[in-house]
Amino acid sequence: MKIKNLIYVLMIGLIITSCDTKKSTIINPKDYNVYLNSKESTSLQNSKLRLQFWNKKIKEDSLQIMAMANAAQVYASLFRINGDITNLKLAEQLLAKSVDVAAIKKEGYLLALAQNYISQHRFKEAKNVAFGAYVLNPNASSKMVLFDVSMELGEYQKAQEYLTEIADQNDYNFLIRLAKWNDYKGNLDATIRNMEKAKIIAEQSKKVGLMLWSYTNLADYYGHAGRIQDSYKHYLKALELDPSNAYAKKGIAWIAYSYDKNSEEALKIINKVLRTYRSPDYFLLKAEIVEFQNNKKEKKKNIEDYLNAVKDQRYGEMYNVHNALLLAEEYQEYDKALQLAQKEIDNRPTPQSYDLKAYILNLKGAYKEALHIANTYVVDQTFEPTANLHIAQIFKSNKLGQKVSNLKEELLESAYELGPITYQEIQNL
């Protein structure tokens, strides 16, 4: 009798423990379906009306610089709304012309052009243009853009100098850059703390653009920290402000896929987004999700959709990393992939760019060369989980078992951020 009672107690204990450890579902389609099913967004309609107004002004006077600058701003907004590269390139053309004809306040047009170049991954050109603005007026705005460019180019010492010069704990633009700096340094708590301060300032200003930036970036950082419910809540807050926000919808799709393991719902969201937003990398996300479903045919189709999209030469250098990884992982065309990796290093010599080259070399079987690049340019120079996974794989290829074990424990904590398929790679280390 006592033994039976003991077994009963143990079974109840196991059931309770199982219930306690069971992961709860985060997403609820009722929260966001209204945003997925909405027709042309108000922001898109307003942008089109504004564009008609400013383009009419330009036609009346081809040197109407204010009209050109405002039209460029609308084109940049349209690019964020629908992901159409045409809008980003049209913005570039108008800004370049504005720089040419501006007699006063040229630095403002130069900074806008620099930010456009950053969006196109033309970082060295962005640096030259931003420095031109700095020479004309070394104010906080020019230092902020130079900080942005320096971070993209891996010039971290210079970035820190610019950040120190613009330090102001009450300034939104400083706080979001301080958050980015802390993220680079691997201090996620400080990153979130500064973004939360920035969010308060944005909400007090009631500026929709600042609020959207705050909500989506905070959602990302909360996800990195494992605060998935907070992440989800902030993506929803972004959609309340802008129902067309593709980035927030993509974030919710990632939660559905990576955390809830609800791949069907994730695909539903991404497919709805692709009706109005045409960014090539969304096809790669779909390819990953259907791979998780073991649907090889759909994976192949989505990769082909991606490759067809990036044939557009206007994308320039924007998808070098994605293309290199596809060539290496899917087609084993390592030499072509390495050419793109080297191009990325030339364009953007960051630890992540060197990691790309080291990873491809490791896939190719050049283990010693991969290890040398990783140790020289990547190890202890980035806290990105993907880079750490590649380092661990390179260590494994070079039979450095203890170093692999040390990284594996840390990587297992990044399961949500890396996704279910990559999580399997971690477990196989």
Classify residue 306 by its DSSP letter. H
Which range has the worst mean pLDDT, 8-12, 70-74, 386-390?
Answer: 8-12
pLDDT score at 57 = 65
What is the reported pLDDT for 14?
Answer: 38
Q: Are 333 and 324 in contact (CB under 8 A)?
A: no
pLDDT of residue 65: 76
pLDDT tens-place string over residues 138-189? 999 999 999 999 999 999 999 999 999 999 999 999 999 999 999 999 999 9
Q: Based on the number of CB atoms within 10 Å of its own CB, is 402 exposed (0-12), middle (13-18) or buried (19 or more)? A: exposed
What are the Cα distances from residue 371, in Å, to 399, 408, 428? 11, 17, 19
The answer to whether 8 and 241 have CB atoms below 8 angstroms apart is: no
Among 118-127, 150-159, 179-188, 407-416, where is mean pLDDT lowest? Answer: 407-416
**Would you state the pLDDT for residue 25?**
92
CA dist 135 → 143, 155, 195, 372 (Å): 11, 19, 30, 40
Q: So what's the pLDDT on residue 37?
A: 80
Task: Give the span between the Cα atoms of 20 and 39, in whole angstroms.
Answer: 42
pLDDT at residue 69, as a whole number: 84
What's residue 44's pLDDT? Answer: 67
Q: How far apart are CA 201 and CA 46, in angstroms?
A: 25
pLDDT mean across residues, the chain:
91
Ramachandran bin of 186, using left for φ above 0, alpha for ψ from -120 to 50, beta for the remaining angles: left
Question: Quick one: average pLDDT of 42-71?
Answer: 69
> 241-299: per-residue pLDDT in tens?
999 899 999 999 999 999 999 999 999 999 999 998 989 999 999 999 999 999 999 99
CA dihedral 7, 11, 12, 18 (to 10 degrees): 160
Q: Whole-angstrom Cα distance, residue 202 to residue 198?
A: 6
pTM for the structure as a whole: 0.91
Burial of 84 (0-12, 13-18, 19+ CB in 10 A): middle
Share of the chain above pLDDT 70, in %: 89
Q: Cβ(32)–Cβ(252) under 8 Å?
A: yes
- Mean pLDDT across 288-312: 97
Is the pLDDT reported for residue 374 higher than 80?
yes
Give the span between the Cα atoms of 235 and 384, in whole angstroms: 22
pLDDT at 21 over 90: no
- Between the two ends of the chain, the Cα-to-Cα distance in Å is 47
Query: Whose CA is closest to 274, among 300, 306, 296, 299?
Result: 306
Token pair 């593709």 in the structure block, residue: 246
Which amino acid is present at 350?
Answer: T
Q: To which residue do tokens 């793109």 refer?
A: 340
Amino acid at position 106, single letter: K
Mean pLDDT of 385-404: 96
Phi, psi of 93 (to 5 degrees): -60, -45
| Dihedral Cα 227, 231, 234, 235, nearest 10 deg | -170
Q: Are 277 and 246 in contact (CB under 8 A)?
A: yes
Residues ≥6 apart with Cβ < 8 Å to 81 = 41, 43, 44, 47, 244, 246, 277
Q: How confident is the model at residue 7 (pLDDT cuts 50, 70, 90)?
A: very low
Strand, coil or helix: what is 419? Answer: coil
